[in-house]
Structure 1
Amino acid sequence: MQYRTLGKSGEKVSAIGLGCMGMAFAYGQRDDQESQATLELSLDLGVNFWDTADMYGQGLNEEQLAKVLATRRKDVFLATKFGFRVREDNSTYIDCSPAYLKKACEASLKRLGTDHIDLYYAHRVDVNVPIEETVGAMAELVKEGKVRYLGLSEASAASLRKADAVHPIAALQSEYSLFVRGIEQEILPVARELNIAMIPYSPLGRGALTNTIKDVKGLDENDFRRSLPRFQQEAFEKNLAIVNALAELAAKKNITTGQLALAWLLAKGEDIIPIPGTKRRKYLQENAAAADVNLSSDDVLAIEQLMEGYEISGERYSEGSLKLVNR
């Protein structure tokens, strides 16, 4: 495994991380035994950068990780998030108030079975709480030794600047892939100016860029992708044409389409550390191997020129969820 420096933290983490959300939440049926085997194998492969959140299965994902952390905590650079809360009717809202985040941190530490979180993210920017207040309270957790480094998720360039002025921000997590490149305009340049690592989530387009999903009807009935605009049948079919074209490029290099998509991200800068999610050892191994794929500048250009010939169909989130990003 290759390793990259996590922004101004100076910490070395695996160039390919592991998104753990799907083990407990959003992507159909759980398989706890396979998930635990995937976590254990990830460390054997050198994938030491794990990403979870308190909202994934309402704490369940953190508890799943705790079973492996119990014996291998020192091998993991552990990231979790706070900010999403659930109402009685199961709807969610953002709460990044100082009072709540301290409770959320304590609860995460307990579920994870650890005395510290390596990287603690605000899952979204709370428009009702100044980002300076949120980060100021997060900084107190650093002073207390409960958190080592701070991060933000789906924050705007302006929020990044305000936050970093209060306490050093080590990482920004945003959706970034061949399908979602909006951060390249303003957010990524500001992150680079401030030496903040970029952590792309959904770097495989929620699975669409792997070329393994041929028909959305095959997704589990509980799979949340069924509700996403990009995974509606007409939009998905249009996007499948893009994936098929990428698959031809990948085949020429004897790699999978997913590996091509991850290698493209890695080639965009040493400060980029994607966290593809999986709950299966098979895909973990495939994703991890992408760190060894070296794309030349000509390869990157060819991929981007191919993408310019297409228009991505469908938004990445529902209208309501889109209001929570880039704030």
Structure 2
Amino acid sequence: MKKRTLGKTGFEVSEIGLGCWQLGNDFGPVEDSEAKAILDSAAEQGINLFDTADVYGGGVSEQRIGDWLKTQKTKPVVITKVGRGGDLFPDGYNKNSVRKSLEGSKARLGVESLDLVQLHCIPPEMLKTGEIFSWMEAFQQEGLITHYGASVETIEDALVCCQSDSLATLQIIFNIFRQDAVDKLLPIAEQKNIGIIARLPLASGLLSGRMQKNRTFSAQDHRNYNSDGAAFNVGETFNGLPFELGVDLADQVKTMLPSDMNLLQCSLRWLLDQPQVSTVISGASSSQQVISNALTSDLPPLSQVLSAKLQTFYQEQVRQHIRGEI
């Protein structure tokens, strides 16, 4: 597993990280033994960056990671998030309520200081006032957190966050079906030494290569209840694409690939080919998925011809169908 520097944090993190939303039972029940097996497999594959949030299972994901950390001699970098839990969202933000939420994450994870906390898709107007960034800097000085960043839904929100000099990272929706950040955001992030964390690398499974139109999802799975943006930003589910159209588009990408590469490999490798990307957060519901994701770190870069085809395909066939602001 290759490593890269995560922006201003200075952390050397694995190119492939583990997304831990599923460990909160938010996609369906996950037994404790299965959660431990997923975490163990990630560590065995050299993955040393784990991404969670206080709202994943109402703290279950954090608690499971915290319990697992107690058994580890080598501690990974654990990213958590703040801003969508408790009474914060959409208009309950104040310094004390944010601190209380962070202290809860710290207790569940069992750490002395939170490695990296990302503002979790908080309202744009809250970002624009800049007050919350001052709170995060104060929490740094107190030792409650070591670094902070932001997980955002749009490029506009990301650019607002870039105005904070102490911002260490940005977690963005970024994949073959969401490429605008290449020109509009990544150069600015590089200039400001802001680490880019790519989330939704497989567009909620569309780019896994395994999705079929007759696939059904459990009631707890956001791919069921948020497919049209009923619960939160539509871009967080299937990249904002209508499901069946997304499956068709993914099948078209398959026809562009060399015979020795599958769609999942191409999708993760495309992200790693962007030099400003520090790590790619990919979820996994089994140890085998963890292994498959991790192996892409060792693949060679995509050919220039294929990269150009993917860019053209996005601009001409995909972008106009994305619902919600990009």
Distance 1:195 1:270, change over 3 A: same
Pair 131,16 (structure 1): closer, same or farther in 2 beyond 3 Å: farther
In the alignment, what sits opposite 2:75? 75
Q: 1:174-253 residue pairs with structure 2 within 5 A? A: 174-215=172-213, 217-226=215-224, 227-229=226-228, 235-250=242-257, 252-253=258-259
Deviation at 1:186, TM superposition (A): 2.7
Aligned residues: 311
Partner of 1:268: 274
Partner of 2:135: 137
Q: 98, 120, 123: which one pairs with 1:123? A: 120
User: Pick from 95, 108, 111: which aligns with 2:108?
Assistant: 111
- Which amino acid is 1:228 matched to? S
TM-score, length basis structure 2: 0.86
Q: Which SS does the other structure have where 1:84 is aligned?
A: coil
> How far does the alpha carbon of each residue in 1:98-151 deviate from its partner, in whole angstroms, 9 at most, with x for none?
211111111101011111211111112442475532122212222222221111
So what's the TM-score if we normalise by structure 1? Answer: 0.86
Change (3 A) 1:94 1:266: farther
> Which moved further from structure 2: 5-14 or 49-58?
5-14
Mapped to 1, the partners of 2:137 and 2:223 lie a distance apart of 35
Structure 1 counterpart of 2:147: 149
Secondary structure, in 3 states, of the residue corresponding to 1:299? helix
Letter in 1 for 2:161: L
Q: 2 CA distance for matches of 1:158 and 1:275?
A: 21
Residue identity over aligned pairs, in percent, reads 27
* Secondary structure of 1:79 counterpart: strand
- 1-structure distance, mates of 2:272, 2:108: 32
Q: What runs of 5+ residues in structure 2 fail to find an aligned partner?
A: 229-236
Give the Å deviation of 1:193. 1.9
Deviation (angstroms), 1:54: 0.4
The code of the aligned residue for 1:279 comes to S
Q: Give a deviation string over 1:8-58, Cα, whole Å, max 9, x none.
A: 222210001111001214323323321210101111111001000001111
Deviations 1:149-208 (A, max 9, x none): 1111116244223322xxx21110011111122333433332122110111111110111
RMSD of the TM alignment (CA)? 2.6
Higher deviation after alignment, 269-278 or 101-110: 269-278
Is 1:256 matched up with 2:258?
A: no
CA shift in 2, pair 1:308/1:132, >3 Å: closer
In structure 1, stretches of 5+ residues that fail to align are none
Alpha-carbon separation, structure 2, partners of 1:130 and 1:270: 24
Matched-pair contact (CA < 8 Å) for 2:121–2:150? yes
- The answer to whether the 8 Å contact 1:142/1:149 transfers is yes
Compared with structure 1, are the counterparts of its residues 300 and 103 closer, same or farther at alpha carbon in structure 2 (3 Å cutoff)? same
1:162 partner amino acid = Q
User: What is the CA–CA distance in structure 2 between the aligned matches of 1:101 and 1:94, rounded to whole Å?
Assistant: 12
Evaluate the alpha carbon distance shift between residue 14 and residue 94 of structure 1 in structure 2; reply closer, same or farther with a 3 A threshold.
farther
- Cα 1:5–1:14 change in 2 (3 A) is same
Distance 1:298 1:4 in 2: 26
1:55 and 1:84 in contact (8 A); partners too: yes
Q: Is the 8 A contact 2:177 2:318 kept in 1?
A: no
2:60 is aligned to: 60
